[in-house]
Structure 1
């Protein structure tokens, strides 16, 4: 039986950005999808339960936008970018204001609740981690990172930052201004994404993905370290006799893990990779639940047979507030630098809305 569901049953978001997407994020309280783009804009869309969508609003940065985060109530959206700035957008009034800044591009932004107060955490390529009260113009605390921030996620318990030197900085938000732990990434290559566990799986750890087609499941507290493990994914076997140089037996095409998104109810997660495929996992049971290949997603080159199939990278994904819709974005992921940018008029960016089925995300029964 074929376990793949063709993309034709997934709905395409109307009027996607004309340039690469860096991040997509659903509101935590309503079906509004925010999209950050390299065209210097943030776009908001209304989405309904049938997967139908319409543009709602947009606002501009002065340079490419790199990250997004909603506050807990969904009333405000935060965005950070290459203009060294973080903006706060009021969904009700449509007004934006700058609420944070760095001395270099701001790669990561997270809005959290700490001791009953809303705090903004930002991390940049200036090797700084900053905490903000958005009502004040200056940060309430600044900490130095070991290198440029490449990835960050946070819950109300912990904040985890991955840096360019493969270090993982962990902060216990009960005492946010002191680094709790600093560990080397369990993965040998560049960190691409970090996603913290939701409350459904204890909220005391994180998943980290790298450019080597591997995901690490890590616990924040030393007492849990024996539970740490990593696994390979988003790799394809190179068949012997394929076009190009002779393949060594067992050799693989290896793709970056660009996105890891947890299902906040089930505690399972999905990964999206540079191969243009999407996979659902039960990480705690170390089990693959459901796979959607690039070919099955209608995202491969049908004329490339019998060589391995892959298409436009999946760069970001997000569950809506009740986890009934999964949005995922196809876009150039900058893995080949500026010279790899698609030619003018051939923008591959599209964002799909997938109706989540229970068998795709439910934990495996013991």
Structure 2
């Protein structure tokens, strides 16, 4: 992967008002309007109407009984209180729509040809599918370990669990059938993201590496991994790199390029096909824990917050909690011409 890129100044990026009081866990844009839902360890989900020109404002907030680990573009949220909730922006009503025996790590609304289902992945080692009209799950999948990450672009769904397992689902065939394989990475997975073409997915983890995996055997030759979110050691006696976790991977909805954000406080835009870095942000004041493009790709939101990689001792009053909005230029995310071999 080429590392040629120019750095983008973050001075023009705009912070959203009234951010959470504790670490930010998730960001997700609506697929209908520029509404951004923000989950936090302060037990809240905040909803903002976002504008890159600076007119952003908070429009709603609702609470769980415990920290929020995940939320989705239709304002579904999952929490350490073992529940999933749905929030109606119009009525201001919150309804419980999912229940697990352990914390709900991820929620995802999956649009299918004839209906949609809510998918929840939990640390109770299950994935459950929910029809919002029924109080019980319509299907439950037992996992080999705790669910750490999940993403879906119908018919593809991918989940990552503890002990480096990657599970792939073909939702067009069955919500239950899946393939259980080892992660291409040696250490813990933090994020899995389905590719826009639905032929594969990207994996990011704590070892500062992104891996692209493909489903069909004839695409396996295109699989590759590359290092990122690493810094050279400041010590003259130590020539090793400092390695940081990759916390999120997001594909641009128009161009199919992608972003990564990490515990080193940086964001990068990449071209998967040309295998090169397009742009890089200047380093933020803390780890970047999650990020999201809006539905048109004109806005990129990212959260600067403590990611607990140093444990409780690292949570000091100096740690920021900020939600930043970046106006995306087309030339920053457009694909580059492929190199000739």
Write the mapping of 1:5-20 to structure 2, written as runs, cut at 5 A: 5-20=8-23
Deviation at 1:239, TM superposition (A): 4.0
- 1:226-248 residue CA offsets vs partner (Å, 9 max, x unmatched): 2111100000111443xxxx31x
> Where in structure 2 are the equivalents of 1:282-321 lying within 5 Å?
282-294=271-283, 299=284, 311-321=285-295
- Does structure 2 retain, via aligned residues, the 8 Å contact 1:169–1:179? no
Secondary structure in 2 matching 1:120: strand
Of residues 44, 57, 60 in structure 1, which corresponds to 2:60? 57
In structure 2, distance between residues paired with 1:158 and 1:225: 17
Matches within 5 A, 1:1-366: 3-70=6-73, 76-198=74-196, 202-241=197-236, 246-247=237-238, 249=239, 251-294=240-283, 299=284, 311-343=285-317, 346-366=318-338
SS at match of 1:224: helix
- How far apart in 2 are the matches of 1:316 and 1:98? 25
Structure 1 residue runs of 5 or longer lacking an equivalent are 71-75, 300-310
Give the whole-Å Cα distance in 1 for the aligned partners of 2:217 and 2:178: 11
Q: Greater CA deviation, 48-57 or 353-362?
A: 48-57
Quote the offset at 1:347 in angstroms. Answer: 4.4
Question: CA offsets per residue over residues 96-146 of structure 1, 9 Å max, x none?
Answer: 100001000000111012231111111100000111101100000111111
- Residue 176 of structure 1: how far off its partner (Å): 3.1
Alignment size in residue pairs: 335
Q: Decide which moves more: 352-361 or 172-181.
A: 172-181
Distance 2:210 2:80 in 1: 27
CA contact (8 A) 1:115 1:174 kept: no
- Measured after TM superposition, the shift of residue 49 of structure 1 is 4.4
Q: Is the Cα–Cα contact under 8 Å of residues 51 and 354 in structure 1 kept in the other structure?
A: no
Distance 1:134 1:223 in 2: 39
Is the 8 Å Cα contact of residues 253 and 297 (structure 2) preserved in structure 1? Answer: yes
Q: Tell me if structure 2 keeps the 8 A contact 1:19–1:347.
A: no
Cα RMSD, aligned residues only: 1.5
Compute the TM-score of the two structures, normalised by the length of structure 1: 0.88
Q: How far did 1:52 drift?
A: 2.5
SS in 2 for 1:339: helix
CA contact 1:325–1:355 (8 Å) conserved in 2: yes
Q: Does the 8 Å contact 1:84/1:103 carry over to 2?
A: yes
SS of residue matched to 2:323:
strand
SS, match of residue 21 in structure 2 = coil
* TM score, norm. by length of structure 2: 0.95
List 4+ stretches of structure 1 deviating above 4 A. Answer: none
